[in-house]
Amino acid sequence: MKLLILDGLTAEQATTMRHGVWLDALARARGWTPATLSLRTLTIAPCTGCFGCWLRTPGICVTDDDGRAVLRQLVQSDGVILLTPVTFGGYSALLKRALDRIIPMISPFFSTVNGETHHRLRYARQPRFGALGLLGDDDAEEAQTFRTLAARNALNWHEPRPAVALVRADADETATRAALQAAFNTAGWP
């Protein structure tokens, strides 16, 4: 099974934080075939909100850059993990920009999910959704905001049980692996 890791760390963070390496190793140990996209190395323009990906070129962003490759790899994966420092309870700017550009994976039409209105899925097969948030300090409010954001994004993907883990950015391998194992197990991931 293919696992796409969307690495939203800056170059500076990537040199000191080993969480992506530990996530990759754990995924392999659980039987996944991980591939990491280091978003800092890609050219991804901001979404312009033109909705061309829904109307003019359904399923394909009208902006021809690395954002298209991210979407292509995402829809060909069985699971996706967002790797990001937690910024004010949200994703890093690099990750947020990439996520804004994957809107072509959903349909402009609506359906009801758990009594709420959400976009229909464009593709019959949807990757599982997960996130690993790296906290700068022990801020319970920021952690809860991140959990809520990830859960709501997962719901938009029609993912009932996302694998979401939070650790301090200075956490060691043992703590990171334990948090990820717990998230995968709770979500029912292989």
Task: Please report, for the domain that includes residue 59, its CATH number.
Answer: 3.40.50.360
* pLDDT surpasses 90 at 13: yes
- Triad 65, 68, 70: Cα angle to 5°: 110
HSE-up of 10 (CA within 13 Å, CB side)? 7
pLDDT > 90: percent of the chain: 86
Q: How many domains does the chain have?
A: 1
In this prediction, residue 156 has a pLDDT band, given cuts at 50, 70 and 90, of: confident
SS3 readout for 125-182? CCCEEEEEEEECCCCHHHHHHHHHHHHHHHHHCCCCCCEEEEEECCCCHHHHHHHHHH
In whole angstroms, what is the distance from residue 174 CA to residue 171 CA? 8
Instruction: Tell me the residue range of the domain where 71 lies.
Output: 2-187
Taking only the tens place, the pLDDT of each residue in 38-85 is 999 999 999 999 999 999 999 999 999 999 999 999 999 999 999 999
Q: Is the pLDDT of residue 113 over 80?
A: no
The predicted pLDDT at position 124 comes to 86
Q: How confident is the model at residue 158 (pLDDT cuts 50, 70, 90)?
A: confident
Cα–Cα nearest to 183, from 167, 164, 160, 169: 164
How big, in percent rounded to 5, are the helix, strand and coil portions of the chain?
A: 40, 25, 35
Closest CA to 117 of 86, 155, 68, 79: 155
Split at pLDDT 50, 70, 90, the class of 16 is confident
pLDDT band at 165 (very low <50, low <70, confident <90, very high): very high
pLDDT at 117: 92
Place 15 in a pLDDT band, splitting at 50, 70 and 90: confident
The tokens describing 85, both together, are 């420092």
Mean pLDDT computed over every residue of the chain = 95
**Contact present, 75 and 105 (Cβ < 8 Å):** yes
Predicted local confidence at residue 114, as pLDDT = 79
CA separation for the pair 84, 94 (Å, rounded): 9
Residue of 29, 30, 8 whose CA lies nearest to 19:
8
